[in-house]
Amino acid sequence: MSLKTKDPQIYDLIQRERKREMETLDLIASENFASKEVMEALGSILGNKYAENYPGKRYYGGCEIVDQVEELARDRVREAFKLPLDWHVNVQPYSGSPANLEVYNALLEPGDTIMALDLLSGGHLTHGSPVNFTGKTYKFVHYGLSPKTGKLDYMEILKLADKVNPKLILCGYTAYSREIDFKKFREIADKVRAVAMADISHIAGLIAADAHPSPIPFFDVVTSTTHKTLRGPRAAIIMCKDKFATAIDKSVFPGMQGGPHINAIAAIAVTMKEAKTAGFRKYAEQVVKNCKAMAHTLQDFGFKIVSGGTDNHLMIVDLTNKNITGLDARKLLESAGIVTSQSGIPQDPRKPWDPSGVRLGSAAVTSRGMKEKEMQKIASWIAAVITDPSIAAKVKQEVKRFCKNFPAPGL
């Protein structure tokens, strides 16, 4: 019996969500479309199996096949990110936030000092926000962006590191649009004898496709989600030098998690195989081209982009010169079929729940086959709706017709 027959309410909600995704433009930088193959693995019978601990060391019987699934996923992560032989992979974290917590728990003691980018400048909640567990457990000292350029100021970061002597320095962000110089962060970490950690959750797909530099040659530990630009399941991975492997594995299990989600791990394996294809490389390159095209067009319409542009898949639009808040802009654009997320700007005078900007991303629309010409069209719709809210309903119909020409993968 089908889901439609046995649970028509849930079936109907799924169909309504499918319709919404098909008929709107997803510019949320942390979202994307997983392939049918990824979703097939995620929804497979592997979800039935408990497999606490690691391959060859399980506490449950019947794990000989799922052991192979996990080993294959780890091997494919190694290949996708070109890991050195002395690096280790853990594919069990349930999502990006637990992955970060598991690294902190493995390598630090409560109260230890960590340096990271502040939330309003593009950091993440798990990078020491005072409302988050991390900010309450560890002593986070936040660096910001240059007030003049809106970019990372590596000299200022070094000065701060010299002053506070952190045990761990974290980079890799949730709303930073510029290329990261991982080598400079390594040099800073070496000068203060800190562990160098990168959270590449947003740019992992770009890194795998060589569309953004990789931290792997320079860093000690790297965490990442497997969706966003990677187009995989909602899960996470931890990659680290072998000397940290035992501590991190113990921190994941039994330290902070129970049985791994083998179905998600299988979906990670599928994702990493896809990331090695020529088609994925072409997609990642287009993601960057598309984001640049959208940013340039918005600037032509008089919009301010934090840091003046973008080198990756996202941008922060500063709306302070448009007489609209980030929250109101997000709601207005959604009424026009353009889905975004509100975002703070550096030194934002407004509150986090109603900040001064919106974050836009190009990954999901690129997965639908859109290119620079389409990005210019989308930017023109954004400008038109922000300028004249009365046309939102009309634009929504135009967006709906437009989306029919670009079928979303997996839908």
Name the active-site residue from 234, 281, 350, 377: 234
The residue annotated as part of the active site, out of 49, 74, 167, 228, is: 228
For the question of residue 228 being annotated catalytic, the response is yes
Asked, as a colleague might, if the bond just before 254 is cis with ω within 30 of 0, I would say yes
Per annotation, catalytic residue among 21, 37, 50, 289: 50
Rg of the chain in Å (alpha carbons): 21
Tokens, residue 402: 């437009």
Q: Which residues contact 21 (CB under 8 A, 6 or more apart)?
A: 33, 408, 411
Concerning whether 16 is annotated as a catalytic residue, the answer is no
Task: Name the E strands within 192-300.
Answer: 195-199, 221-225, 236-241
Burial class (CB in 10 A: 0-12, 13-18, 19+), 191: exposed
- Is 52 designated active site? yes
Q: Are 345 and 318 within 8 A, CB to CB?
A: yes
187 labelled catalytic: no
Burial (CB < 10 A; 0-12, 13-18, 19+), residue 8, is exposed
Selecting among 199, 220, 318, 348, the annotated active-site residue is 199
Spatial CB neighbours of 313, under 8 Å, sequence gap ≥ 6:
29, 202, 203, 206, 229, 287, 288, 291, 361, 362, 363
54: left (phi over 0), alpha (psi -120 to 50) or beta: beta
* Residue 199 annotated among the catalytic residues of the structure: yes
Catalytic residue among 40, 52, 71, 112: 52
Q: Is 60 labeled as catalytic in the residue annotation?
A: no
Q: Which of 137, 225, 325, 366 is catalytic?
A: 225
Q: Which residues are catalytic?
A: 50, 52, 199, 225, 228, 234
